[in-house]
Structure 1
């Protein structure tokens, strides 16, 4: 019987020993991503900016990845239900979260959260920006933002403002606005923008900040009047409407409040999957077709950004809302 040479035997034994040190490869781990449908959790009802962006993006992303992309609305507790669900999903790139500004607002408002938006997720890409606009009734006697602020400061007790609920971006936009003006006005929280806008149109409340997404249709119908957008410069979604930051009111010199929509994955997603999703989504967002779709929905495409850019943005945004809540003396719930 032929016996292997000592050198060959030693090489064979070394190879066998090295193989025993390799970790077991789970079944399917070597499949090319994506190998099955992808689900995007939208933690708000259909029609919300995160839901709209998820559906627009999902359609285009499915075509690029050659796999279905399904939007799953899991609503409740100001977005916390769907967000908590996504945080506990497997970090394999098949369950994602299309979240929004509420994700960075909530830690400033609530004492206890079922997740940490900065630590329990993998940032993928910021998708869109939702500009805010200051609205009054169409026949309100204000010729400009400056005129409105003058009258508001003169008789604040005559005014009430509407919000889409306590702790929403509509609420904090007003809080930041009034805090800068040094004026106290009574607020009325509603269960969403539709109800707040209805009472604003009816004259039960006198003003509110809302996303252009939901406010612009009422401006175009002639029922509401926009006084200013909460941005550093005018925006194409509201042509002819001045920016509050460019007004002659010194306290509003750099006033900017805008919502955002972005895609996250559970903590621990593989970097190669995160980078792949980022590249594909940025390609979709820079396409004329996607930009046109979002523009028609009154949402602006966010500047191209990497996962690292988005991570830095989340931390900056969370601090901004905490500072606004502190300055406006809003108690935590």
Structure 2
């Protein structure tokens, strides 16, 4: 993928906290990489270290890691809520680190949406007024902003609650208001920083389902932060795993589980069942022209996971046709192969 096809590109992004961090970076010897020891000697902390990544148009890109890994700092650098120490961040080809403060305000108001763990709803405003608030900041007239806000409220399933105040809503409903508010500006790029982590498990699952439904409708370019790998594999097209401020591997959930690049990634993904991430495309066998079509079972998508496919085989079916998005046959999936993956855990 070329950078011209990416919505967001990070090139050698660093965020270092401490005195004289900028001069430290300017004076560094590029022949010798910055290490934890050199940072400690300078009295500095490397929160984000030499991050390179690309987020594709319409992609759900998840950044994950343990607490203190740098994931939230990186996302704030992407929108310049925190100023990176060095590097480049390109949004639609424009280097945000060269943009003026006024230009960044315009980009955040009109092109970026943000949802954080804490809902930050305005308690004296109704649901409709909260959702319409960023449009009011943009200067949109009242009728237009309320019409658009009402559509967003309906989109997240809160129609009929437009006049409620935040205190009258459940936690999941409050988060839906936060999501609707961030979508009201019709952002090109949508940042979500652990938006569901404060919710009860059942509500969290419900919000993940809601997120998937919204993404199927809106096809936004999304950067989603989480420390929960189960959540990541449900929501992500690709995942970046961070450790100590650095990105250690980027890939699909299947890539990370089946082909971990480091011992850290292997340990991070060790408890994930392969059937949850392995897709039909990886397990299917070539089409057998001698096998009559009526001997085959139902069709399954190339993208379907083995865990999703397994229940079909409980009905005594031995062979499944694997098809692409256009419905064209691409291969065969055999019961024995699926069972073998399920047994390996």
TM-score by length of 1: 0.24
Higher normalized contact order (CA 8 Å, seq sep 6+, divided by chain length): 1
More strand by share: 2
